[in-house]
Structure formats: C-alpha cells, structure tokens
Amino acid sequence: MNLPIPAKDRLIFALDIPNREEAEKYVRLLGESVGCFKVGLELFIKEGPDIIKMVKENSSASIFLDLKLHDIPATVSSALISAATHEVKFITIHGSGGKSILQTAAEVKSLGLEVLAVTVLTSVSESELKGLGFKENLSLSQLVLNRASEAEKYGCAGVICSGEEISSIKRVCKPDFKLVVPGIRPLWAEVRKDDQSRTITPKDAILKGADMIVVGRPIRNAKEPDVAARKVVDEIRSALIA
Ligand code: C5P
C-alpha cells in the first residue's frame, strides 16, 4: 500500500528563474518549506545539469525536471535514462505521442524516476482542436481524459492537469495515479491578474484530489516567500484533515 504524501511534499515550487544565482537564493530560502523544486526549460537550458547539483547541495527537497519531452520513442527513452542519472524524482513528457512514447515511462520506473504526462497544453483552446485534426465532436475535457487514461495504462506515474480536470481524472484513474496541478492561486496571494486563467486555491485543489500542486508566482512574488510557502503547506494540511 502507498503511504499518504505528507503536506510539505505536496508543494512543488516552480523555479521559473533565469539564472543560477537567483535560483540559489530561492532554494536556500525555501529548501526547508517545500517538498520539491521544479526546474523548467528556461533554467535548465541556461545552466545545464549543474543546476540540479546546486539544488541538491542547498536542499533535501526532491527535483522535478519539467522538460516536456516529445520525440521518437528511442530518443525519449534515452533522454529519460540520462535524466535518471541526475537522480531527479519527476520528469514530464508529452502525452500526445501515443503508446510507444508513453511506454518509455515504465522503463525508468526501476531507476526511481517518475514520469508525468502533459495531457493537453493549457494554451490549446477547444476551438483549436478541429484545426489540429481532431474530430469535431471531441471536447477538450474528453481529450484530456483519454490521454490521462492512456498515460496510466502505459506506465506513467501521473499527469499534469488543471484544477478543473482533477475530479474527472480521479474518477477514471486509480488512486495512486498522481495528479499534479499548476495554476494555483491562494486567496491571499498578491498576484491577481496574470496569464493563468483556470486557477484554483491550494485548499480546493487538495480537496478535489490533487496529489501535488505547483506554485510559482504566489510564492516567488510574495514579500516573504518562505512565509508564503509555509502558508501554502498549512492550507494543504488543513485540506488533508478536512
Ligand atoms: O507562477 P505560476 O504559479 O503560474 O507557475 C506555474 C508553473 O506551472 C510554471 O512553471 C508553468 O510552466 C507551469 N505550468 C502551468 N500550466 C500548465 C503546466 C505547467 O502553469 N498547464
């Protein structure tokens, strides 16, 4: 049986920061308060795998390499094996590549790497689906659901999904299939108007069944980011016991 995930480990901080120096400041400040640091394309392409070393040297939190891999299966498979050598816990692949790409996730499970699939990018709107070659009557939510089911079937550890999709994915996937939810906006957050449109609070995300939440700006732009991170963890904890 899988043990429940502690509140702190459910908080992933997005290191959406352009350089090592700045990133290190946040890792030192938040290393004790968050369970995981997410390194994305911007920072990884700028600094290379050394950035992973830096996070490990300054914190015991786990690392999520958000590279959204999408290539032929052999290349994705080799990239995942390379990523596993850095001892990161999570990595993303695109969930649109079909069975043979999704199956590469199962190959690295034994190396301790958990592969999360991106179902449909949130930048894709329902009206764009037909232009992308999908059947006219296929809704965005159905496509997300189909891809989450496929990701689970072929060995991914979980998916990235929006707050709106948590309940429906939870209904069709097994309880241990992880739902990782970005677009988090606590009610007390100072970031109000930004590019996230389908937002949810930490509490509601956890109540709906999110396993982990990804938070960037509400913590990064707070006057005291460490206080904000601890507030998010408290909110997660209160939702877990509700
Ligand atoms: O700053 P904010 O809390 O909006 O950070 C969101 C993080 O989650 C960013 O790293 C972004 O790339 C990621 N993300 C997202 N929406 C998705 C997938 C990932 O905002 N659908």
CA distance 242 to 238: 6
**What does the DSSP assignment read for 134-146?**
--TT--HHHHHHH
CA distance 44 to 67: 8
Homologous superfamily (CATH) for 8-240 = Aldolase class I (3.20.20.70)
**Among 21, 65, 73, which residue's Cα sits nearest to residue 45?**
65
Residue 68 falls in the annotated catalytic set: yes
Decide: pTM greater than 0.75.
yes
Q: Which atom of ligand 1 is nearest to the CA of 14?
A: 10
Give the pLDDT of residue 20: 97
CA of 237 to the centre of ligand 1 (A): 22
β-partners of residue 37 are 13, 63
Which residue from 214, 219, 220 has its CB within 8 A of the most atoms of ligand 1, so it is best to mutate? 214
Gyration radius from the chain CA atoms: 17
Give the pLDDT of residue 124: 82
CB of residue 164 inside a 6 A radius of ligand 1: no
**Among 222, 242, 197, which residue's Cα sits nearest to residue 34?**
222
CA of 42 to the centre of ligand 1 (A): 13
Q: Which atom of ligand 1 is nearest to the CA of 219?
A: 3
Q: Which atom of ligand 1 is nearest to the CA of 182?
A: 8
**Among 162, 232, 239, which residue's Cα sits nearest to residue 204?**
239
Give the pLDDT of residue 190: 74
**Among 77, 131, 75, 143, which residue's Cα sits nearest to residue 104?**
77
34, 61 Cβ separation under 8 angstroms = yes
Give the pLDDT of residue 2: 60
**What does the DSSP assignment read for 2-25?**
PPPPPTGGGEEEE---SSHHHHHH
Q: Where are the domains of the chain?
A: 8-240
Q: How far is CA 242 from the centre of its chain?
A: 24
**Among 120, 156, 123, 115, which residue's Cα sits nearest to residue 139?**
120
Give the pLDDT of residue 130: 81
Q: Which residue, judged by its Cα, is nearest atom 14 of ligand 1?
A: 182
User: What average pLDDT values come out for the chain (242 residues) when binned by 10 residues?
Assistant: 83 97 98 97 96 97 97 97 97 94 94 95 82 84 94 97 95 97 92 73 97 97 97 97 85
CB of residue 44 inside a 6 A radius of ligand 1: no
